[in-house]
Structure 1
Amino acid sequence: MADDIVRYSIKMPRDVAQAVQARAGKGDPSAYVVAAVRRQLERDNLRELIEAAEDEHGPITEEEMRRKLEQLARAERGTFGTGGE
């Protein structure tokens, strides 16, 4: 596992560094930063996927977005596909 770790030195504003340390508590601030970077990478990848889909199929309409958000909400409630749609 140690072979999979790369050490970086980064600079960040003092207030951000203090907030990271406060959130990490007695834990490892590196783990907090890694989690934040992973979330950003996921968002970047999702944005690229959306852009590629829109290039191929056109932009997503507000109506399509609303329907998908409703489907996600039903899926989270466990009612998607049960006739409660």
Structure 2
Amino acid sequence: MSAYVEHLIQRQLERDRLRELIEDAESKHGPVDPAAVETKRSVLRGTAGDSADAA
């Protein structure tokens, strides 16, 4: 059980750090374009179609 709790705590710390990085980047560069995020997400998931496979 403690290994499970440790994993949950580590995951939350990772999310907190990621949120800090995002907030820092947005303060320097402005908000992220949601369409660009979806495009990148599709590429990472391999669902962007044939054009992503060629990249």
When the two structures are superposed, what TM-score results if normalisation uses the length of structure 2? Answer: 0.71
> What letter corresponds to residue 45 of structure 2 in structure 1?
E
1:53: which partner in 2? 25
Q: Report the count of equivalent residues.
A: 52
Residue 77 (structure 1) aligns with: 46
Structure 1 gaps of 5+ residues are 1-28
RMSD after superposition: 2.1
Structure 2: tracts of 5 or more residues without a match: none
Task: Tell me which structure has the larger Cα radius of gyration.
Answer: 1
Higher RCO, 1 vs 2 (CA within 8 Å, ≥6 residues apart): 2
Q: Between Structure 1 and Structure 2, which shows a larger proportion of helix residues?
A: 2
Per the normalisation by structure 1, the TM-score is 0.50
| Percent of aligned positions that are identical | 40
